[in-house]
Amino acid sequence: MTEPSQKYQVLRRIGEGGMAEVFLAEMRCQPGYNKHVALKRVLPRLAGNDRFLRMFLDEARLGLLLNHANIVHVFDVGRAGEAYFIVMEYVNGVNLKELLKRQGAHATLLPVEMSAFIAVEICRALHYAHQLCDRAGNPLRVVHHDVNPANVLLSVNGEIKVVDFGLSEAAVHVEKTDPDIVRGKFGYLSPEAAYGMGADARSDVYATGIVLFEMLTGTRLFEGKSDQEAIQMARAAKVPSPRERNPDIPPALEEVLYRSLARDPKERYQSSRAFARALTEALYVDLGRPINAFTIGSLVEVVRDELRGERSERAALIELMIEEELVQIESLDFGPHSPGNPLVDPRRWFK
């Protein structure tokens, strides 16, 4: 049971990454009215890493600035003891990585038009973030840095939402001391990022192209036998013919994909909006096969139910472990004059 003074009640654990774990919870609004939310908590082994914790809280503040239909909303930041949480919108569905894994297990590919539609929605989220300004109208120069299938959520209503803006800097820091945390993500780096050069909005365009390639072909573009090999592949940026792996891809769509994956940023689409426009033209004009959210939602619902069946036994054990641990969560004050505020000018994140 939840005491009246408690704002959030943890229900069950729904996921874990290299740096944080996510729980489904209920947020108490008014008496008799509750709202499902997702609580992202720093893993206990990282709770004492001050620099990572600062970056994690930076992500929270950035999330509070973002307000777009294709971006997971951040509502609040909480603390239970020494553990910090980000309180986010709960997306009832699956992530794109899970969806692609399920398609692979069934030896099927996503329909071409569905893949293009999902990529367009990702671009909408990214373009909004790339154009974000502060209250004075100064560009914040937000770059996601970590566009990959695990950070794309799909709901049973057919919504596509991007998550984890701002956490890549923390991932890079922690990877230096614990490489297993970001293992596998090197395959989504742009060439300039793989060389350690400055990244901008065009780097996110490139990463979106990698995700689209994976959706269309069912294969990773840069999947080396080791992280170092994946980095070398990302630096070389050699793109095999998508149509050789999936003949259903129209030539016009293949050309759009090739341009998004140009090794030289100057030769790519210069914005996610331009990339989305080219995809939309291919989707509705060249393909002539429009897709809608209801079709995507129906597929997501099937995959979600399959995954719930696989997780139910494990989830029951985890619930027993967390029932008493995660009960009382205190909201943090992010006001500019709040005592002990660990956050600074958000523009420092976007250089």
Q: Does one domain contain both 69 and 113?
A: no
Tell whether residue 7 is among the known ligand binding residues.
no
Q: From CA 264, how far away is CA 205, in angstroms rounded? A: 12
More confident residue, 97 or 345: 97
Identify whether 146 is a catalytic site residue.
Answer: yes
Tally of domains within the chain: 2
Q: From CA 329, how far away is CA 58, in angstroms rounded? A: 19
DSSP, collapsed to helix, strand or coil, labels residue 347 as helix
pLDDT digits (tens, 9 = 90+) for 261-286: 999 999 999 999 999 999 999 888 77
* Res 56: pLDDT: 81
Q: Does one domain contain both 35 and 139?
A: no
Q: Does one domain contain both 267 and 142?
A: yes
* Res 314: pLDDT: 54
Q: Which residue has the tokens 């692609």?
A: 100
87: containing domain: 8-91+311-350
Residue 200's domain is classified under what CATH number? 1.10.510.10
**Domain-embedded: residue 305:** no
DSSP H or E segment with residue 319: helix 293-322
pLDDT digits (tens, 9 = 90+) for 31-45: 777 899 999 988 888
**Domain-embedded: residue 227:** yes
Q: Does one domain contain both 183 and 327?
A: no
**Domain-embedded: residue 306:** no
Which residue of the set 58, 76, 146, 164 is catalytic? 146
Query: 278 with 127: CB under 8 angstroms?
Result: no
State the Cα torsion 161-163-166-170 to the nearest 10°.
-160
Q: Does one domain contain both 54 and 99?
A: no
Q: Does one domain contain both 266 and 161?
A: yes
Residue 85's domain is classified under what CATH number? 3.30.200.20
- Output the CA angle 138-141-143, nearest 5 degrees: 160
92, burial (CB in 10 Å: exposed 0-12, middle 13-18, buried 19+): middle
Q: Does one domain contain both 45 and 184?
A: no
More confident residue, 241 or 33: 241
Q: DSSP string of 73-126?
A: -EEEEEEETTEEEEEEE--SEEEHHHHHHHHHHTT----HHHHHHHHHHHHHHH
Residue 67 has pLDDT above 60, yes or no: yes
On average, the pLDDT of the chain sits at 82
338, burial (CB in 10 Å: exposed 0-12, middle 13-18, buried 19+): exposed
Side-chain-facing half-sphere of 282: CA atoms under 13 Å? 23
Tokens of 5: 């003074």
* Res 277: pLDDT: 96
**Domain-embedded: residue 3:** no
Q: Does one domain contain both 286 and 160?
A: yes
Q: Does one domain contain both 133 and 176?
A: yes
Q: Does one domain contain both 53 and 116?
A: no
**Domain-embedded: residue 271:** yes
Q: Does one domain contain both 141 and 121?
A: yes
Q: Does one domain contain both 87 and 31?
A: yes
Closest CA to 111 of 276, 258, 298: 298
DSSP letter (8 states) at residue 37: E
**Domain-embedded: residue 29:** yes
* Res 184: pLDDT: 45
Q: Which residue has the tokens 């005491």?
A: 3
More confident residue, 128 or 310: 128
